Amino acid sequence: MNIALIGYGKMGKAIEEIALQRGHTVPLKLDIDNATEFTKENLDKCDVAIEFTSPHSAVENILKCIDAGIPLVCGSTGWLERWDEVKKACESKNGAFLYASNYSVGVNIFFEVNKKLAALMNQHADYDVSMVEIHHTQKKDAPSGTAITLAEQILENIGRKNNWVNTTTVKPSELSIISERIDPAPGTHIIKYSSPIDDIEITHTAHNRTGFATGAVLAAEFLKGKKGIFSMKEVLGF
């Protein structure tokens, strides 16, 4: 499979390494230094594209790929206020698009654990829930896309929580997310339920980018030849 990489920073290079290990080729590597090569002609040489850039450039990149008719796996976060625009474009072009806030297999299992624990804790109002997420200092969005996904799962399952805030809070209806930026942390997410009697805590800690990169390549393998909008739930069969 020929893969186009849109974004060739640390994550792009990690994805390239995994893709090559799995027998794929990467004929197109796009970054700010060669943006003029981001053309339909070059994309047509590839079977699928993987996009990891920034919140500010993601939607433009997504729409260019959809217009070019290339299936796209997107890992950029911080742009979801424009989700409806992307969804409409993909549907109108009969395209193929897969988005996840986190491509790590371990994180996606953690998502399922988070939903189950939140559902169990819904009936125990003496426990308050909060979250801490830790990433490297180059991460441009806060809270992380993964933290937002975890928070939304908690809000869906715990009726006493109405919204999340990216700070500490004393309001019982708010879910606190504390964002810390510390090098070289690739990503840690901690969800804590606290009561006067005890605490319950679940944690996912990434040791490196390999898990994210592997998941992105698995997603690209899944997306090739398909039409529609997908997530890692379909890739992993959850």
**Is residue 171 flagged as an active site residue?**
no
Determine the Cα–Cα distance for residues 137 and 135; give it in Å rounded to an integer: 7
The token duo for 161 is 């929580």
154 CB contacts (<8 Å, ≥6 apart)?
Answer: 114, 118, 129, 131, 161, 164, 175, 191
> For this structure, is 139 an active site residue?
yes
- Rounded to 10°, the helix 210-223/10-21 angle is 60
CA 147 to chain centre: 10
SS3 content of the chain, % helix, strand, coil (to 5): 40, 25, 35
Per-residue DSSP letter, 167: S
Active-site residue identified among 24, 135, 161, 189: 135
Task: Note every long-range contact of 33-42, with CB atoms under 8 Å and residues 24 or more positions apart, other chains counting.
Answer: 38/6, 38/64, 40/67, 40/68, 40/69, 42/4
The catalytic position among 40, 93, 116, 139 is: 139
Rounded to whole angstroms, the Cα distance separating 76 from 58 reads: 6
Give catalytic residues, as residue numbers.
135, 139
